[in-house]
Structure 1
Amino acid sequence: MASIWKRHPRYSILLLVILLATCFVLVPPGSYNEPSLHRMSFDGGAIEQRLATSEIFYRKALQDRQALLKRFGPTPEDVENFPDHDKPYTIWNFFPAAFNCPYEVRHLGTLADGGKWVCGLSKLEREPDCIIYSFGISGDSTFEAELLQDTNHCKIWGYDFSVTDFTDDIPNSEKWRTNFQPYGLAGKDSPGTTNSPPMFSLQSLMNLNGHDHIDLLKIDIEGWEFETLEELIKPYLSSGKPLPFAQLQLEIHVWDMPFAKFLKWWEMLEAAGLRPFWTEPNLVYVDYAKATPSLTEYSFINIRGNNVLTRPEKPRHPHGAYA
């Protein structure tokens, strides 16, 4: 069995996922043996095994979502994002970060608004061609600065039309690993070349930079994430190709969006292979605006394709170094 994993790792993980999916089809909702789930081990094993185990837990969370929807709906149109106190839930309870990052999870950047949770920074550090895109810089570059500090060769492409560059959080000695443009991220390119501000799709910027992958993608674009990600993901769902990034750090601005519309958008993310492994409400916004927690940070791993977080790990030499 071990030799099969080594010779055909991509086919092996596909087979394992198919077998797991078959089990979930055959086992009706609510019939899980909870003690068995609790005894399952996530530690150790090949990356394929860790991802497959985490997908089991995530599928259980999907069934829990349906149960919660039936309880407080019963249809998505009946669910309020932030109901009165007689209903003990918020929209975020339907979308827990139920997937496990298969590596270490670290918080980078300020502990206040602006920091992000990252999966497997040690894996990015070992990538010979580590590429990071950051949309939404504003007045805080502590996240980008710590990414540069904790890696030796990762390079960052930053975009924000509201500022002219990264902040002084990034020292001059590391500026050579950054590239900044005052562009905005959108679902489609803005027509012509004189539009202000200039807007580009993610694929257009990747083509412009000569990139075929992104190891870490940060998006904080004040509510435009819904249209942007929908336009980005559609072609990949149609073609069956994996998304071109390994993980996504995203601030979601739900504001007054109806629950049913948000659910459809979120299920599109899941269908494209994105799985949330961390979430954190933006309590700075709650305190500042005296409002409901409409802004929440999510971190996703892309479980599809051969990216830095899903590809089989290289064997270690006896002294601990990687081959």
Structure 2
Amino acid sequence: MVELALDKSEPCDDKSCVFSQIKPQIKEKEHSGDKCILVGDGQDNKATLNMTLLYDRDECVVFAAGISYYYTLDTYFEKEMAKQCRVFAFDCTVRDKDRKMEADNVNFSPICIGDPTSNAGNIGQLYMNQAKDEFGFDGNSNEPVFQFKSLLQLSSERHLDRIDLLKFDIEGHEWDFFSSVLPELWKFNEDLLPGQISFELHTKWADPYFVPQDLVKDKGRDEVNELFSQLKNMGYYVISKDINHGDAACCEFVIARLNIKATSTLRQRLFHHGCEFVNN
């Protein structure tokens, strides 16, 4: 088990310090001619590692979960990476009744990514109360609205052998994802672990109107640190960190899986293209 070098003696009793010990582990060298890191414009388009430096392929595969109608954010990655990305969007709380996503070549499925047998698999009354007709969702119908599937299932059904980027903002359900869905891939099909993951992490001080407290009530700095230690053990490095401007109890992260086969060769390639490892 790889552990991050964290100061456990420093107390943390509120949201101002909950993410303080997690820092980006890769940065772009000064005066580098290559674009090692593609910088977005804040929380919507977060900085990501330039995947063209990592993979010798003609296309990429993007999974976006919990996207509501903000799926267009993923086109940023497609344009900046100069690739023809296949974008698969998932959200069981909305319906693409106007075929907006279909028109933009986004393959949308009204499914949530997660473990259907877990407590977090029950999205709860919060989303039922916030359901709106504009999303094509009828909270009074008998339709089985909240369908959950694992990444293994979704990838297999779409005949995919990799996921280059996984993006999600699922209001506290990310803890269930990291405790069940990701370890399932790690155990049964390591090659399907996403190359990069862009997500928002919510903690126990998050606004309860947006984040069900049952999902985050025990999530403080120790739990945040433990999560990133587990991710480091799976080979993930922090690329970017952006505290939510409206709620400091939430933070946007991008992580990239770099501790994989031929790690030394990969590090050399990244270094050659202007990346350097820090805060390891």
- The TM-score normalised by the length of structure 2 is 0.67
Structure 1 unmatched runs, 5+: 1-57, 74-78, 83-88, 287-292, 314-323
If each structure's helix is expressed as a fraction of its own residues, which one has the higher value? 1
CA deviation after TM superposition for structure 1 residue 240, in Å? 9.4
CA deviation after TM superposition for structure 1 residue 186, in Å? 0.9
Secondary structure of 1:217's aligned partner: strand
CA deviation after TM superposition for structure 1 residue 300, in Å? 0.4
CA deviation after TM superposition for structure 1 residue 216, in Å? 0.9
Contact 2:114 2:177 in 1 (8 A): yes
CA deviation after TM superposition for structure 1 residue 80, in Å? 2.1
CA deviation after TM superposition for structure 1 residue 112, in Å? 5.7
State the partner residue of 1:262.
224
Amino acid at match of 2:20: N
Alignment pair present for 1:179 and 2:107: yes
Per-residue displacement from partner, 1:83-140 (whole Å, max 9, x unpaired)? xxxxxx61211111123479622234xx465322221044489622411111121232
Counterpart pick for 2:13 among 72, 75, 80:
80
For the aligned residue pairs, the C-alpha RMSD in angstroms reads 3.7
Does the C-alpha gap of structure 1 residues 300 and 112 become closer, same or farther in structure 2, counting only changes over 3 Å? Answer: closer
Counterpart pick for 2:84 among 127, 135, 153:
153
Per-residue displacement from partner, 1:191-238 (whole Å, max 9, x unpaired)? 9xx742111111111111111211111121111001112112334555
State the partner residue of 1:117.
47
Secondary structure of 1:265's aligned partner: helix
State the partner residue of 1:91.
18
Distance in 1 of aligned mates of 2:234 and 2:242: 22
State the partner residue of 2:8.
69
Distance in 1 of aligned mates of 2:111 and 2:102: 22
Secondary structure of 2:198's aligned partner: strand
Does the C-alpha gap of structure 1 residues 281 and 207 become closer, same or farther in structure 2, counting only changes over 3 Å? Answer: same
Counterpart pick for 2:155 among 206, 210, 230:
206
Per-residue displacement from partner, 1:253-283 (whole Å, max 9, x unpaired)? 1134233333322321121111111111110
If each structure's strand is expressed as a fraction of its own residues, which one has the higher value? 2
State the partner residue of 1:143.
73
Contact 1:212 1:244 in 2 (8 A): no
Distance in 2 of aligned mates of 1:303 and 1:132: 18
Structure with the larger RCO, 1 or 2 (CA within 8 Å, 6+ apart): 2
Structure 2 unmatched runs, 5+: 30-34, 123-142, 206-218, 270-280
Amino acid at match of 1:146: Y
Report the more deviating stretch, 204-213 or 251-260: 251-260
| Identity in percent | 17
Contact 2:67 2:168 in 1 (8 A): no
Counterpart pick for 2:259 among 284, 304, 321:
304
State the partner residue of 2:178.
229
| Alignment: residue pair count | 225
Does the C-alpha gap of structure 1 residues 166 and 282 become closer, same or farther in structure 2, counting only changes over 3 Å? Answer: farther
- The TM-score normalised by the length of structure 1 is 0.59
